[in-house]
Structure 1
Amino acid sequence: MTSALFEVNKKYWTDRAPSYSQVNQEELAGCQRSNWLREISRQIQMVYPNRAPQEITVLDAGTGPGFFAVILAEAGYKVTAIDAAPAMLAEAKRNAGPWQEAIDFRLMDAQKPTFTAESFDVVLSRNLTWVLEDPEQTYGNWHHVLKPGGLLLNFDANWYNYLYDADLKQQYEQDRRNVQQNDLEDHYLSTDIDAMEAIALQVPLTGIQRPHWDIRTLEKLRMRSITTDVSVWQRVWSTVEKINYASTPMFMIAAIK
């Protein structure tokens, strides 16, 4: 049985699928395609230095319109991509183009993947954990489907923490002004801000300082070699993204099972 919050979340991302897909299409056509592939491949190769991508199984948890799934499948990785919203999976399949058949797309709640234990060499995610109703349990479930010695790789940010912090609110508003002054696309205009803020106020990680929380959670799972990188956004984001999200820099957290 799903919760009311899960259904609200699912509806929001279902409604946003077309506009979010457009963002992924722009990433696939821009510098982000090579930036992200270089970053993710570097992390994977540090764990599996003697294995080819074709020998590495990857779970893209909460694939959305499929950006990670597409660039990793194109690079040769064996990718399984899951999402709870059928509309997102439909967009992901379209965005995959010639790589669609190489990706195992599945309709599945990324919080509760139903694969057998120790199924994947890598579990990765982007912009997902912050909006989950039980992120701690989700980390535990990802740990469950990860092979011993496998890599957990999560990219996220302290999205919507400005709802609890007046200084961050001012920084967020300055981002909006900077976007306008530079005559750039404001990425927040493609969202239903009221709906997103309402969801953010209900989920547990809004207002929590991360990645400190993630480190503690992964330590409880006895994961090893936990590392964080709070400057990863400088290497993967486009100039437009850096201006849009200056007050909400993306971080990376990596850990070994």
Structure 2
Amino acid sequence: MDGLADGSNFNLRDEIKAYWSERAATFDQSPGHEIFSEEEREAWHRLIVGHLGEGRGRTALDLASGTGVVSLLLDDLGFNVTGMDWAEPMLERARAKAKARGRVITFRLGDAENTMEPDNRYDVITNRHLVWTLVDPQAAFAEWLRILKPGGSVLIVDGDFVNTTPFERLVQKLANLTQRMGFTRPLAMHQPPQLMETHRSILSRVHFAGGARAEAVVELLKKAGFQDITIDTDMRRIHRAQAKHMGFWKGMARGAQHRYAIKATKAA
């Protein structure tokens, strides 16, 4: 998994880091990345509180924090937040965003699979759309268990971005048809074709190349030693809010995708 990639002197982890560094400039332009409405913000707050409770000063590590979207949500709720990402351009935007909003959040350069954090450091760990990119999720989950305090929890928000549902495929056919007939325009692309190809190449070589199904993630969490694991597939409030800022067909498909939140706890 982590060998040299196609004659390059980058290994797979280096490629992933370089990809997200390049994506940083346009990351916040996409609905589903940045938050574009108070309705969506409130939906995220509800999801987080439902699984982790209010912050009340508890320590939270937001892994693969990107431009700080989830870190800011945690700060809204009263957590003492550290964001960690291994793409410095993402961190630069996250720091600027927090400063502009008057927030006190620490953003740190680091690897989600090897955080270098001390044992039993955090009350909660969060991540969004990280697990599907992990080269070695089993090692990553063991690392997260190590740095959580006893009784602490991880909240994973992710999805299967490989396997499409029959409804998604139908929606895509209708979208293509209406575009050919001139009734709708193609969706605006927030990354050039070369980066899209890089994304496909990376996805084909990570651990979850076949799709990060919730059940497969749960099995690895169990092996790492996590307990009291729950899968929440009710993301409807978030998806409805996001759909209002997407093209019609993409918004239709969003709710049919296999997206989920998983909460898992370290033994007290």
TM-score between both structures, scaled by the size of structure 2: 0.80
Measured after TM superposition, the shift of residue 100 of structure 1 is 5.7
Q: Give the distance between the partners of 1:86 and 1:172, measured in 2 at CA.
A: 37
Distance 2:127 2:143 in 1: 13
Task: Give 1:173 deviation, angstroms.
Answer: 3.5
Q: What do the CA deviations read for 1:33-62 (whole angstroms, capped 9, x no partner)?
A: 1111121012112xxxxxx62331110000
Among 29, 48, 55, the alignment partner of 1:22 is 29
Compute the RMSD of aligned alpha carbons: 3.0
Deviations 1:172-199 (A, max 9, x none): 8448549969958837x22332111011
Cα distance change of structure 1 residues 54 and 245 upon mapping to structure 2, 3 Å threshold = same
SS state of the match for residue 152, structure 2? strand
1:38 aligns with 2:46: yes
Please say which of residues 106-115 and 94-103 is displaced more in the overlay.
94-103
Between Structure 1 and Structure 2, which shows a larger proportion of helix residues? 1
- Indicate whether 1:222 and 2:217 are aligned: no
1: CA distance between counterparts of 2:38 and 2:177?
21
Is 1:249 aligned to residue 251 of structure 2?
Answer: no
- Structure 1 residues 16 and 32 mapped into 2: Cα distance closer, same or farther (>3 Å)? same
Question: What letter is aligned with 1:228?
Answer: I
- Secondary structure of the equivalent of 1:55? coil
1:10 alignment partner in structure 2: 17
User: Given the alignment, which residue of 112, 115, 126 partners 2:114?
Assistant: 112
Q: Given that residues 231 and 249 in structure 1 are in contact (C-alpha distance below 8 angstroms), is that contact kept between their aligned partners in structure 2?
A: no
Give the secondary structure class of the aligned counterpart of 1:88. Answer: helix
Q: Deviation string for 1:36-92 (max 9, x for gaps)? A: 1121012112xxxxxx62331110000011101112113321000000000000111
Pick from 207, 211, 214: which aligns with 2:214? Answer: 211
Amino acid aligned to 1:190: H
The answer on whether the counterparts of 1:151 and 1:256 sit within 8 Å (CA) in structure 2 is: yes
For these two proteins, the number of residue pairs brought into alignment is 246
Change (3 A) 1:69 1:209: closer
Identity fraction in percent: 26
Deviation by residue 1:113-134 (Cα, 9 ceiling, x = unmatched) = 1110110000010001101111
CA contact (8 A) 2:168 2:253 kept: no
Structure 2 runs not aligned, ≥5 long: 4-9
Amino acid at match of 1:243: M
| Change over 3 Å in CA distance of 1:118–1:4 after alignment to 2 | same
Alignment of 1:22-171 (within 5 A): 22-23=29-30, 26-45=34-53, 53-99=55-101, 101-161=103-163, 170=169
Is the alpha carbon distance of 1:77 and 1:11 closer, same or farther for their aligned partners in structure 2, counting shifts above 3 Å? same
Distance 1:220 1:255 in 2: 12
Cα distance between partner residues in 1 of 2:42 and 2:12: 35
Which stretches in structure 1 are left out of the alignment for 5+ residues? 46-51
Distance 1:208 1:226 in 2: 20
After superposition, the Cα gap between the structure-2 partners of 1:242 and 1:227, relative to the gap in structure 1 and judged at 3 Å, is farther
